[in-house]
């Protein structure tokens, strides 16, 4: 009896199709995972942008609270991030002698939460009423800027110190204008205050007119103001050498252009785009007072200005009662935004450089009471009688 044997035939005809199907499944899976990853990234990016805006607005809220406190009379430093507690305010009032104004103003700094319905807050808010430099982003050509400069010790901002050197640094408000080259320090018409390179014409960096007057305590008469005021034009003369150290800045002595007979000198700034803190820098030496009034006005274009003060040993001083630096960090979930602003320490008012301006003729009438020097009545002089002219 014979046993039957079955024959199994093998074939690889469908293997390639199986491999192709597996590869397609793998590719589709990778594409799905990739698209899902892209969607998650886009969602996270959109969320981060939204949270970034919320954090920025939270930081702005911190600036607004600090501004309210400063305008209400808060004039002290705040070097801790956390908001004031009422217990802290009460202890400071008892220990440091905070008056009612300081206590009330500090009330604006007791809450860092935006609202009860949001997780946004400003997590750190500091206030510096005596910064190491003064910053002005745009000194105008049409209006002078008057700045109070009170020198105080860098380590103890409540202690006044004599200012020996004042550094004034400037460039155009955009920080890109070229400088004056060539011989001399010409003051050209405004239409010619430019440099042409090929087909490109660029306005030159501005000239800065300054007046520096020491403010002594007590009564000061007009003649004392005139004789003690330093007046000069800071000129944007280009230099091939960059300067960033006090010892290397171009210098002008306080007595060099002081008083009615010597005022109005020209001081070159040795400008270089790599110089610090700004492209053009001039130091005024020979100072010997704690308190000065600096008057600035830009010529030809708007200027950005940085002001720093040093004592007789070359140590950097803080400047009080001019600007308050407020630093605020906002947070929304895990996103942080930091904002810094400078708030004028006092309300700013426009101080006109002159009482009358005209583009035509001007008849000035002077009257002496009761009569003029020669005994005649000023109203009898026809040239100065408004009814006649």
Nearest to 264 by CA among 235, 287, 305, 223: 235
The secondary structure of residue 382, as a DSSP letter, is G
Q: Specify the higher pLDDT residue, 43 or 320.
A: 320
pTM score, two decimals? Answer: 0.78
Give the ranges where the chain is alpha helix by DSSP (H). Answer: 15-71, 86-95, 100-106, 222-228
Task: Quickly state the pLDDT bin for 95 (edges 50, 70, 90).
Answer: confident
For 185-241, the pLDDT digits (tens) are 999 999 999 998 888 889 999 999 999 999 876 667 788 888 899 999 999 999 999
Quickly list DSSP for 161-197: --B-EEEEEEEETTS----B-SSS-----GGG-EEEE
Q: Per mean pLDDT, which range of 44-48, 202-206, 233-237, 310-314 is the poorest? A: 44-48
Q: Return the pLDDT at 389.
A: 47
pLDDT at 347 over 80: no
- Beta-carbon contacts of 313 under 8 Å, excluding residues fewer than 6 positions away, are none
Residue 343: which of 124, 67, 133 has the closest Cα?
67
**13-17, 86-90, 173-177, 182-186: least confident range:** 13-17
Per residue in 144-154, pLDDT (tens digit) is: 899 999 999 99
Cβ atoms < 10 Å from Cβ of 311: 17
Q: How confident is the model at residue 349 (pLDDT cuts 50, 70, 90)?
A: low
Residue 88 is predicted with a pLDDT of 84
Mean pLDDT score of the chain: 86
Whole-number percent of the chain with pLDDT over 70: 86
pLDDT band at 24 (very low <50, low <70, confident <90, very high): confident
pLDDT at residue number 4? 61
Task: State how far the Cα of 80 lies from the Cα of 103, in Å rounded to an integer.
Answer: 17
Gap between the Cα atoms of 267 and 264, Å rounded: 10
The answer to whether the peptide bond before residue 370 is cis (omega within 30 degrees of 0) is yes
Q: Which of 153, 238, 134, 152 is nearest to 195 (CA)?
A: 238
Q: Would the pLDDT of 84 be above 50?
A: yes
């Amino acid at each position: 009896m014979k046993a039957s044997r079955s024959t199994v035939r093998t074939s690889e005809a469908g293997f390639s199709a199986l491999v192709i199907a597996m590869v397609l499944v793998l590719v589709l899976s990778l594409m799905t995972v990739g698209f899902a990853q892209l969607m998650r990234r886009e969602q996270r990016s959109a969320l981060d942008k939204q949270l970034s805006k919320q954090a920025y607005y939270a930081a702005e809220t911190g600036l607004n609270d600090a501004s309210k406190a400063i305008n209400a009379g808060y004039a002290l430093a705040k070097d801790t991030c956390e908001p004031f507690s009422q217990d802290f305010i009460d202890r400071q009032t008892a220990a440091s002698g905070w008056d009612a104004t300081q206590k009330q103003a500090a009330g604006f700094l007791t809450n860092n939460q935006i609202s009860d319905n949001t997780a946004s807050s400003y997590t750190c808010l500091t206030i510096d009423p005596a910064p190491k430099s003064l910053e002005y982003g745009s000194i105008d050509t049409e209006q002078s800027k008057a700045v109070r400069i009170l020198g105080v010790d860098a380590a103890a901002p409540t202690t006044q110190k004599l200012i020996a050197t004042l550094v004034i640094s400037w460039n155009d408000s955009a920080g890109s204008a070229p400088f004056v080259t060539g011989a001399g320090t010409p003051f050209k018409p405004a239409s010619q205050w430019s440099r042409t390179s090929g087909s490109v014409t660029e306005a030159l960096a501005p000239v800065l007119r300054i007046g520096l007057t020491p403010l002594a305590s007590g009564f000061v008469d007009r003649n004392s103001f005139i004789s003690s005021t330093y007046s000069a034009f800071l000129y944007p003369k280009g230099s091939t050498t960059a300067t960033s150290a006090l010892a290397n800045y171009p210098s002008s002595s306080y007595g060099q252009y002081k008083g009615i007979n010597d005022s109005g000198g020209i001081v070159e700034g040795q400008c270089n785009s790599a110089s610090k803190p700004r492209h053009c820098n001039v130091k005024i030496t020979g100072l010997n007072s704690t308190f000065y009034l600096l008057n600035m006005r830009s010529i030809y274009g708007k200027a950005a200005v940085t002001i720093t003060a040093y004592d007789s040993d070359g140590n950097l001083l803080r400047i009080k009662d001019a600007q308050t630096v407020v630093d605020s960090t906002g947070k929304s979930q895990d996103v942080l935004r930091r904002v810094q602003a400078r708030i004028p320490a006092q309300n700013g008012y426009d101080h006109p450089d002159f009482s009358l301006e005209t583009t035509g003729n001007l008849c000035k009438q002077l009257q002496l009471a009761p009569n003029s020097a020669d005994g005649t009545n000023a109203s009898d002089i026809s040239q100065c009688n408004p009814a006649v002219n």
